[in-house]
């Protein structure tokens, strides 16, 4: 998933005004009639759900709107440059790069959210504007203004209601597949999921978006494993489903490993509502250590199995109660 990009955006230049005088038969002292330049086109970004990555901004990095045309004789204004409207995925944050500083300009949270990004230059004035009682034949005109040019970083953060997190191979993608119509790759080895997968879950006429986040390991917030680039996607979720594989010798350590990474990345992440689930709990009479039993009781964990569907309905209820 390409979820970050650097681009340059340039609005159109305003067309120049011109100096020109009437020269017609039977009009011996024709006055000025130089027209104004057209305005340069502006650039707008609009949020759309049709895109879910920033790959377009890797293919094309420079965006330019049309320039305004030069003014014409007979006081005719040059044509305005066309505006350019660029679609960006919902969830894109736009940062302006100013002297190595990144300033957040806009967060495209809603579909069809439209934002002016750079303003086109105003067209120049033709010499008609400079006519006065003392100057009947002005030769002055003004040039069009340059269009704004800015550098931006686009950063896409998924907008999901629920994030499914856990160590690699804990069953996150399988759970997404169980809860939604998504069909992510599932395999019995770590780091099967390399990009977040999304799915939607309908409960009582409400639709929730779930994101299956690639597996996190100790040090993820500092770049280990697949690193911290997916942690940003958790920032916008309302609820986390934290999967802890029952096959871990020590559930507490497995759980804490993930919590520490969330804390190191952004302390707000550990304040999120969380459903702690013990995954792969296929059989009711599983023999588990005393330590694990204590962890389950202390944290009021939900024991689930995507294979036998144990407590999947219960999990859906919990999700609904926490969000709605
Ligand atoms: N027995 C059992 N196996 C499961 C269950 N859920 C998942 N698995 C298996 O666990 C393995 C890993 O499942 P995934 O869903 O790919 O795990 P993941 O957490 O998405 O893994 P990464 O994407 O690598 O982080 C697969 O072999 C699954 O078939 C379950 O409820 N019971
Ligand atoms: Mg996976």
Instruction: Calculate how far, in angstroms, residue 292's C-alpha sits from the geometric centre of ligand 2.
Output: 24
For 26-53, write each residue's pLDDT tens digit. Answer: 777 788 999 999 999 999 999 998 888 8
Of 1, 163, 169, 224, best ligand 1 pocket probe by most atoms within 8 Å of the beta carbon: 169
Task: Tell me the per-residue pLDDT of 169-179, one tens digit each, with 9 for 90 and over.
Answer: 999 999 999 99
Higher pLDDT, 276 or 324: 276
Q: Looking at residues 255-259, what average pLDDT do you find?
A: 96
Supply 128's token pair. Answer: 């008609």
The single residue listed with the structure tokens 């804390």 is: 263
Mean pLDDT, range 182-194, rounded to an integer: 94
CB 140 within 8 A of CB 21: no
Query: H/E/C letters for each residue in 13-70?
Result: CCCCCCCCECCECCECCCCECCCCCCCCCCEEEEEECCCCCCCHHHHCCEEECCCCCC
- The Å distance, Cα 291 to ligand 2 centre, comes to 27
Is residue 170 within 6 Å of ligand 1 at its C-beta? yes
Confirm or reject CATH 2.130.10.10 for domain 4-156, answering yes or no: no
Q: Does domain 162-323 have CATH number 1.10.630.10?
A: no
Tokens of 322: 């926490």
Ligand with the closest atom to the CA of 169: 1
Kind of pairing between the strands at 149-156 and 302-303: unpaired
The reply to whether ligand 1 has any atom less than 6 angstroms from the CB of 197 is no
- For residue 208, the tally of other CB atoms under 10 A from its CB is 21
What pLDDT is recorded for position 1? 54
Q: Would you kindly state where each structural domain of the chain is located, as residue ranges? A: 4-156, 162-323
Ligand 1 probe mutation, 174, 246, 261, 277, most atoms within 8 A of CB: 174
Q: Which tens digit of pLDDT belongs to each residue from 82-135?
A: 999 999 999 999 999 998 899 999 999 999 999 999 999 999 999 999 999 999
**Residue 139 pLDDT > 70, yes or no?**
yes
Residue 5's pLDDT band, with cuts at 50, 70 and 90, is very high
CB burial string 161-171: b at 16+ within 10 A, e below: bbbbbbbbbbb
What is the structure's pLDDT at 252? Answer: 96
Ion ligand 2, residues whose Cβ is below 5 A away: 172-173, 192-193
Hey, is 118 helix, strand or coil? strand
User: Where residue 3 falls among pLDDT bands split at 50, 70, 90?
Assistant: confident
Percentage of the chain modeled with pLDDT above 70: 100
What is the spatial distance between Cα 306 and Cα 304, in angstroms, rounded to a whole number?
7
Structure token pair of residue 145: 């203004």
Residue 93, ligand 1, Cβ within 6 A: no
- Is residue 169 annotated as involved in ligand binding? yes
Task: Please say if the pLDDT value at position 186 is more than 80.
Answer: yes
What are the pLDDT digits (tens) for 198-208?
Answer: 899 999 988 89
Mean pLDDT across 259-272: 94
Ligand 1 pocket check for 186: Cβ under 6 Å? yes
Residue count of the chain: 324
207-231 pLDDT per residue, tens: 899 999 999 999 998 888 887 888 9
Helix, strand and coil content of the chain, in percent to the nearest 5, comes to: 20, 25, 55
Q: How much is the pTM?
A: 0.76
Give the pLDDT score at 225: 86
* Structure confidence by residue, pLDDT tens digits, 269-302: 999 999 999 999 999 888 889 999 999 999 999 9
Q: Between these two residues, 48 and 2, which has the higher pLDDT value?
A: 48
**Residue 167 labeled ligand binder:** yes
297: Cβ below 6 Å to ligand 1?
no
**Span between the terminal Cα atoms of the chain, in Å:** 30
- Residue 100 in tokens: 């190595």
């Amino acid at each position: 998933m390409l979820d970050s990009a650097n681009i340059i955006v340039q609005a159109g230049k305003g067309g120049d005004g011109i100096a020109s005088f009437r020269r017609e038969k039977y009009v011996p002292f024709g006055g000025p009639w130089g027209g104004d330049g057209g305005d340069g086109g502006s650039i707008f970004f609009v949020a759309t759900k049709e895109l879910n990555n920033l790959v377009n901004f890797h293919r094309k990095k420079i965006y330019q709107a049309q320039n305004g045309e030069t003014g014409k004789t007979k006081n005719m204004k040059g044509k305005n440059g066309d505006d350019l409207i660029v679609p960006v995925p919902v969830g894109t944050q736009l940062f302006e790069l100013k002297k190595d500083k990144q300033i957040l300009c806009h967060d495209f949270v809603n579909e069809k959210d439209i934002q002016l990004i750079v303003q086109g230059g105003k067209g120049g004035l033709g010499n008609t504007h400079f006519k006065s009682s003392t100057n009947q034949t002005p030769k002055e005109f003004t040039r069009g203004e340059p269009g704004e040019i800015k550098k931006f970083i686009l950063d896409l953060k998924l907008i999901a209601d629920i994030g499914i997190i856990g160590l690699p191979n804990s069953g996150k993608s399988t759970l997404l597949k169980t809860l939604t119509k998504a069909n992510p790759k599932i395999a019995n080895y770590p780091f099967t999921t390399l990009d977040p997968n999304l799915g939607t879950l309908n409960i009582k006429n409400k639709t929730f978006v779930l994101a299956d986040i690639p597996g996190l390991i100790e040090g993820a917030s500092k770049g280990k494993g697949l690193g911290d680039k997916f942690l940003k996607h958790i920032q916008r979720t309302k609820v986390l489903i934290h999967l802890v594989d029952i096959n871990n010798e020590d559930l507490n350590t497995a759980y804490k490993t993930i919590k520490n990474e969330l804390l190191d990345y952004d302390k707000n992440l550990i304040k999120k509502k969380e459903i702690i689930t013990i995954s792969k709990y296929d059989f009711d009479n599983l023999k588990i250590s005393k330590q694990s039993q204590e962890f389950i009781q202390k944290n009021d964990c939900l024991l689930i199995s995507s294979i036998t569907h144990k407590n999947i309905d219960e999990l859906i209820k919990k999700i609904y109660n926490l969000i709605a």
